[in-house]
Amino acid sequence: MPRVWGREVSNDGAIPSDPPPPARTTAERWLGGDAGRSDALCRLRAECRRVLEQNWREGVAGGTRFAYTCPSPDRYPWQWYWDSCFTAVAWRRFDPSRSRAELETLLRAARPDGFLGHTLFWEPLEGARTLFYNRLRPGDLMTASIQPPLLPWAWRIAVGDPRREPALVRHHEWLEANRDLDGSGLLWIVQPDESGLDASPKFDGVWGRRAHGLPGFPLLVRRNRRLGFDARRVLAAGGPVVCEVLTNVLYGLSQLALGRPSLTPTLIERLYDERRGLFRDLVLPPVERQPPVTWAALAPLALPDLPDAIGRRLIDEHLLDPERFWLAFPPPSVSQDEAAFSVNDTFLGLRRYWRGPTWVNAGWLLWLGLTRLGYVQANELATRLAAAVLDAGLREYYDPRTGAGMGAHDFAWSALVLELAQPDECARRSYL
């Protein structure tokens, strides 16, 4: 039998006998226990609304009207593709018209062929950051690289039926034509930030000294700029290109939202390691070095049609292991037992993200799997993340051992904590 927290469980996931819970966990003390949950939820909603309203931006740039939520006023003034998708989901709880405006602003910037970039620069991009952002030419409105394509799924959650929006259909047609390199239906990325996971240590063996957050990263940007960020040209030039798990999970959710055939069977066939009970990336050319296990290996839990047996292995053997992912404030972005795990988020003065701390969007996606499969730990995950937010505010990420806030302040997508704390019934089927 597999084990959860040192206890045997049956093959159907039932736990024969639960030990009595501790008198009060740290998270429960912070939330005030059962009697204080209503007040805690009110405070949590107020904090989320404050940050979303504070970070809201409207205006006109280059003759185009925009309305979006900047991720954080001090560090991230522009519009990021997946940040806007996450904040649109959060906005629907307060002002659904802003959810629509946020996502329509993304579509307004799309090229006629459906391409939609990683970052939109409604305010000028200047200084040293021009070395790190993936534009083809100075002055371009948006980058020429992508982010995980969850826009149709976010539209389905926050706005309505994405199939009625031709621009969303064109967006996915561009992805299919330009990033499905082998006809499998899965997408490939040309540099680590296209996954949204930037400096995750799982990319260290792929990009080496040119990995994100290292001094050589601008060289990778310059090379890919010369190749037009064209995945086929990058592969022909020697790569590397990566068929990355999280990117394809979010793409798969969007495909389902568009009423298209599920990619889940292909994800399992191509990316699931049955021996280890984890998902892993494909890399071309292949890399011999075994990458560390990160939360992305568990991300298919967000898929509503992931077979229960696979989902339970991801949860029982990995997510709920207190030595790996089930820390005080889960899930850490890297398994705690990996040598690459670290809560130090800088190197030579450069930010290195996703190497240990907990992010709320990751917690939400894994919570979807716990909820769908009926695990009581879904409530515990909600309690712990809500406690971190109530104590530290909406931060970019959190120390998984202490809950201390880290990174940018007033970080908008951390308002996704409301999806866990005040769950929508549709979450049991990933809102689809």
pLDDT value at position 19? Answer: 36
Beta-bridged to residue 382, according to DSSP, are: none
| Domain presence at residue 17 | no
Residue 127 exposed, middle or buried by CB count within 10 Å (0-12, 13-18, 19+): exposed
Here the CATH number for the domain that contains residue 137 is 1.50.10.10
Angle at 430 (CA atoms; ends 281, 383), nearest 5 degrees: 95
Structure tokens at 57: 């931006």
pLDDT value at position 131? Answer: 63
| Domain presence at residue 292 | yes
- How many C-beta atoms surround the C-beta of residue 376 within 10 A? 9
CB-hemisphere CA count at 13 Å for 425?
0
Q: Are strands 7-8 and 3-4 parallel, antiparallel or unpaired?
A: antiparallel
| Domain presence at residue 3 | no
Q: Is the CB of residue 91 less than 8 Å from the CB of residue 69?
A: yes
Q: What are the average pLDDT values for consecutive 10-residue runs of the chain, which has 432 residues?
A: 36 38 43 69 97 97 94 94 98 98 97 96 75 76 95 98 97 98 98 97 97 93 96 98 98 98 98 98 95 98 98 98 98 98 84 95 98 98 97 98 97 98 96 98
Q: Is the CB of residue 112 less than 8 Å from the CB of residue 178?
A: no
Q: Is the CB of residue 78 less than 8 Å from the CB of residue 122?
A: yes
| Domain presence at residue 184 | yes
- From CA 200, how far away is CA 203, in angstroms rounded? 6
Q: Is the CB of residue 341 less than 8 Å from the CB of residue 357?
A: no
Residues 6+ apart with CB under 8 A from 57: 66, 67, 68, 69, 70, 122
**Full domain range(s) for residue 192:** 39-429
| Domain presence at residue 1 | no
Structure tokens at 201: 């240590």
DSSP H helical segments within 283-376, as ranges? 308-314, 360-372
Q: Is the CB of residue 282 less than 8 Å from the CB of residue 241?
A: no
DSSP H helical segments within 238-372, as ranges? 245-257, 264-271, 308-314, 360-372
What phi, psi does 149 have (nearest 5°)? Answer: -85, 80
Q: Is the CB of residue 109 less than 8 Å from the CB of residue 64?
A: yes
What phi, psi does 18 have (nearest 5°)? Answer: -90, 135
| Domain presence at residue 300 | yes
| Domain presence at residue 160 | yes
Q: What CA–CA distances, in Å, run from 253 to 159, 170, 246, 354, 359?
A: 15, 17, 11, 22, 20
Structure tokens at 98: 């802003």
Element (H, E) at 8: strand 7-8
The 8-class DSSP code of residue 342 comes to -
| Domain presence at residue 26 | no
Q: Domain count of the chain?
A: 1
Write down the pTM of the prediction: 0.91
Gyration radius (Cα) of the chain, Å:
21
Structure tokens at 70: 């900047």
Q: Is the CB of residue 360 less than 8 Å from the CB of residue 416?
A: yes
Q: What is the maximal distance between C-alpha atoms in the chain?
A: 64
Q: Are strands 119-120 and 79-80 parallel, antiparallel or unpaired?
A: antiparallel
Taking each helix axis from N to C terminus, what angle separates 96-108 and 166-179, rounded to the nearest 10 degrees?
A: 50
3-state secondary structure (DSSP) of residue 62: coil
**E strands, 91-221, where?**
119-120
